[in-house]
Structure 1
Amino acid sequence: MTHNSATESKTQFLEIVFLWIAGISAAMQFSKFSVSYDALLQYYQAGETLTGAALSLVGVVGLIFGAFAGLIASRIGYLRVLMGALFLGGILSFIQASLPSFSVLLITRLLEGFSQLGVVVAAPTLIAKLSAPRHKSLTMGLWGTFFGVAFAVTGWLGKNILEQHGIQTLLFGHGTLIFTMGVIVFFTLRKNAVLDMSASVPNPNGFLQQLLQVYRNPRSLIPSLVFLCYTCTLVSLLTYIPRLVSDTKVQALMMVCLPLLSTSGTFIAGALAQYIMKPQKVALMSYSGVALSACLLTLVATQPLWFALMTGVLILFLGMIPGAALAMIPALARTPEEQAQGYGLIAQFGNLGATIGPPAFALLITLYGLFGLVGMVLCICLLGSIFSFIASRISTHKTV
């Protein structure tokens, strides 16, 4: 362990950027189907609900195995898990690029869940290991933007590829990217001394006992519930809100700008949580901003530019929530073990939100249009605000 203490004082930024890009390529497993939603709907003729399920099915594996993943990865090795996840993701994208039957497509989406979960559990753990203590807030803030960046890049480049070359090229391009990142990460990190985690002592408790301990700990659980409300909303809004605008130019602009605003919100939240207010208060403020913006959407529904502008404000506030949730974990945790549990649960609850959000929003939009969307957003904001308030009460009673 002594060699680690010497090297941990230096942050390995290049390696961290590669891991961040690997995370972006994994998040594109959601965004590639979001941007190609209409094309997939037209090609497979499977209906809104089943196509929405294909979008969210990636999260099912994380929903079921999220908490296990952190425990298993610590035994197998985070780098091995990351490598396997990236290569599996590449292979599955190549299969999807052949446009197989819809049932085979659904199976590949389910298997992509293992790939996505492996990356979101292993990559931030490796980033934290490669970061000096004084840079951990910065590097974890960078990691927190990977989802929004993935949607921004896919909305820009992916949309152009889709329009000019079709779904197959888009899916093949994603497979090439995620596979290439696997190769780069392997050659960059395989001999990195800082990532030698062989000295870690295995937990003597069984898996079930460890899991129950994680779920019973409010310092790990509450930030994950705050994060759950965010992921339940973000994927759905980025997918469905632009389609509520009749102007195609405004719609195209929204698909590029909204993810960028989400990413900007994450950076803003990190700065606020570090210098101005506690992350719990940042989360409360963010959910209030999302709720107010959603209500104002109903007043400008017939004006595309104003609707796009108000949606941008909503997404900016929404993007602040993951920054606040990630900052809550070290703020609330009393031990490194609690921090690890918190990040593991965030991976699981994030997948839960991404799984249940799109079908629920699709159903309400089909039934009630914009008012169905706004009503769902308000309910989620209420829950998120309650969880944020509970988190603020926990920090008040924090013991050292």
Structure 2
Amino acid sequence: MTQSVPNTHTQWLEVIFLWIAGVSAAMQFAKLSISYDAVMMHYQTGATLTGATLSVVGIAGLLFGVFAGMIANKIGYLKVLVSALFLGGILSFIQSLLPHFSVFILTRVLEGFSQLGVVVAAPTLIAKLSAPQHKSLTMGLWGTFFGVAFALTGWLGKSMLDQLGLQGLFLSHAFLISCAGVVVYFLLRKNSVLDFVPVIGGQSRIISQMLTIYRNPRALLPSLVFLFYTCTLVSLLTYVPRFVEAERIRATMLVALPLISTGGTFLAGALGQYIMRPQRVALMAYSGVALNALLLPFLLDQTLLFSVIVGVTVLFLGMIPGASLGMIPMLARNPVEQAQGYGLIAQFGNLGATLGPPTFATVITAYGISGFTGLVLIICCCGVVFSLLAGRIQTTR
């Protein structure tokens, strides 16, 4: 794929609005995170089924993530992005009507296609709108969209939920994501930098490429390191604050924890660039998560200290995506392998986001904070193993 007009300067306004579009799409996860208890109460469902409403958004990316880029390449990234944003607005509006639970679940599954369209199209457009000397900066900005969405939703969405209820929360999201679609369309529809020349391959080539990706440890291992992060993050942000009885501290955690996670991602990037290999950063991060999680059951009655340890846990957890993404250019032997690695990370990320919340919900319901800690320790052991394996691969730089 090539761009028909070379871009010599970064179009910051357009980049920022594309980032806002990503934030509005990530709120499809965040809005269910903060309204978890309200949804469970309204529909009278158990923790596992309610946890599924949080995670099913990832199913579309899990099943169709490999093909989403090809579709966007064929029909146009801007069309895919705007369509995905409008689809998200329509589905949030339907959710604001509080339909039957089966319809609600269906809208959540369809929101996965909205989410997938945004995360495939928006970063591609951002890269095209960025001058070469700014691409690391703009892609770093894009990498914060998930944490920022959770922080904003925890800050503003919680008060909306308290004052306007579930209907008001979902309707507000419908308005935000639809407005993002309108603004992005009119801002970018005549932008010549975004003219693409599509590259179309045959189906046999696609299947062969997929098999190559899964057999290549240089792409597979960073993705497995990333998988166990996505299993844990959304669940930790959703469930752990509920162990805190003090309403003010719990509300603060809903805002602060996503920001701490984002800070951890930036910290991992700096460590991996200047001090140690990303594989060692991932190893240190998983070890830090495990050690801090071990303390949580013993601090449940000490609210302030418990909250601090949760914050430190999230900081270490937030370092893992920075380390995983940093491994790919270090391990990849050529640009093709690098692109394959990023694609596989997206797919495994959706796998973790789909399986994590209902699994954690079931374990926490049965065993409380001790169950949470036990599951985190198992996940961290897996993360440590794959970080060590990735560390044994000879790097390309």
Q: TM-score normalised to the size of structure 1?
A: 0.94
Q: Does the residue aligned with 2:387 lie in a helix, a strand or coil?
A: helix
Can you list the C-alpha shifts for 1:271-300, whole angstroms capped at 9, x where unaligned? 222222222222121111111111121231
**In the alignment, is residue 202 of structure 1 matched against residue 188 of structure 2?**
no
Aligned to 2:80: 81
Q: Does the residue aligned with 2:256 lie in a helix, a strand or coil?
A: helix
- The structural deviation recorded for 1:364 is 1.0
Which aligned pairs between 1:62-81 and structure 2 lie closer than 5 A? 62-81=61-80
- The structural deviation recorded for 1:2 is 7.9
Aligned to 2:162: 163
Q: Does the residue aligned with 1:246 lie in a helix, a strand or coil?
A: coil
Mapped contact 1:281–1:388 kept (Cα < 8 A): yes
Which aligned pairs between 1:128-147 and structure 2 lie closer than 5 A? 128-147=127-146
Mapped contact 2:233–2:317 kept (Cα < 8 A): yes
**In the alignment, is residue 41 of structure 1 matched against residue 52 of structure 2?**
no
**In the alignment, is residue 102 of structure 1 matched against residue 101 of structure 2?**
yes
Which aligned pairs between 1:187-336 and structure 2 lie closer than 5 A? 187-198=186-197, 200-204=198-202, 205-336=204-335
Can you list the C-alpha shifts for 1:21-57, whole angstroms capped at 9, x where unaligned? 1111111101101100111111111221211111111
Of 201-210 and 17-26, more deviation after overlay is shown by: 201-210
CA RMSD, 1 decimal: 1.7
Change beyond 3 A, Cα 1:171–1:211: same
- The structural deviation recorded for 1:75 is 2.4
Can you list the C-alpha shifts for 1:80-131, whole angstroms capped at 9, x where unaligned? 2211111111110011011111010000001001011111122122222222
Mapped contact 2:330–2:395 kept (Cα < 8 A): no
CA distance in 2, matches of 1:123, 1:389: 33
CA distance in 2, matches of 1:36, 1:89: 18
Aligned to 2:59: 60
CA distance in 2, matches of 1:2, 1:294: 47
- The structural deviation recorded for 1:59 is 0.9
CA distance in 2, matches of 1:188, 1:336: 31
Mapped contact 1:121–1:344 kept (Cα < 8 A): no
Mapped contact 1:141–1:266 kept (Cα < 8 A): no
Aligned to 2:369: 370
CA distance in 2, matches of 1:13, 1:116: 23
Q: Does the residue aligned with 1:166 lie in a helix, a strand or coil?
A: helix
Q: Which residue identity lines up with residue 285 of structure 2 in the other structure?
A: S
Aligned-residue identity in percent: 65
- The structural deviation recorded for 1:158 is 0.2
- The structural deviation recorded for 1:157 is 0.1
Q: Does the residue aligned with 2:392 lie in a helix, a strand or coil?
A: helix
Q: Which residue identity lines up with residue 201 of structure 2 in the other structure?
A: N
Q: Which residue identity lines up with residue 347 of structure 1 in the other structure?
A: A
Q: Which residue identity lines up with residue 88 of structure 1 in the other structure?
A: L
Q: Does the residue aligned with 1:203 lie in a helix, a strand or coil?
A: coil
Of 366-375 and 76-85, more deviation after overlay is shown by: 76-85
Q: Which residue identity lines up with residue 282 of structure 1 in the other structure?
A: V
Q: Does the residue aligned with 2:298 lie in a helix, a strand or coil?
A: coil
CA distance in 2, matches of 1:71, 1:279: 30
Which aligned pairs between 1:102-121 and structure 2 lie closer than 5 A? 102-121=101-120
CA distance in 2, matches of 1:2, 1:325: 28
CA distance in 2, matches of 1:376, 1:72: 37
Mapped contact 1:81–1:119 kept (Cα < 8 A): yes
- The structural deviation recorded for 1:378 is 1.1
Q: Which residue identity lines up with residue 307 of structure 1 in the other structure?
A: F
Change beyond 3 A, Cα 1:241–1:53: same
CA distance in 2, matches of 1:163, 1:106: 23
Mapped contact 1:27–1:146 kept (Cα < 8 A): yes
CA distance in 2, matches of 1:339, 1:364: 36
CA distance in 1, matches of 2:230, 2:195: 32
Mapped contact 1:329–1:339 kept (Cα < 8 A): yes
- The structural deviation recorded for 1:239 is 0.5
Gaps of 5+ in 1: none
CA distance in 1, matches of 2:214, 2:79: 26
Q: Which residue identity lines up with residue 143 of structure 2 in the other structure?
A: G
Q: Which residue identity lines up with residue 290 of structure 1 in the other structure?
A: V
Mapped contact 2:331–2:395 kept (Cα < 8 A): no
Q: Does the residue aligned with 1:57 lie in a helix, a strand or coil?
A: helix
Q: How many aligned positions are there?
A: 395
CA distance in 2, matches of 1:41, 1:320: 32
CA distance in 1, matches of 2:176, 2:355: 27
Q: Does the residue aligned with 1:369 lie in a helix, a strand or coil?
A: helix
Q: TM-score normalised to the size of structure 2?
A: 0.95
- The structural deviation recorded for 1:178 is 0.9
Change beyond 3 A, Cα 1:174–1:119: same
CA distance in 2, matches of 1:83, 1:144: 20
Mapped contact 2:96–2:170 kept (Cα < 8 A): yes
CA distance in 2, matches of 1:377, 1:73: 36
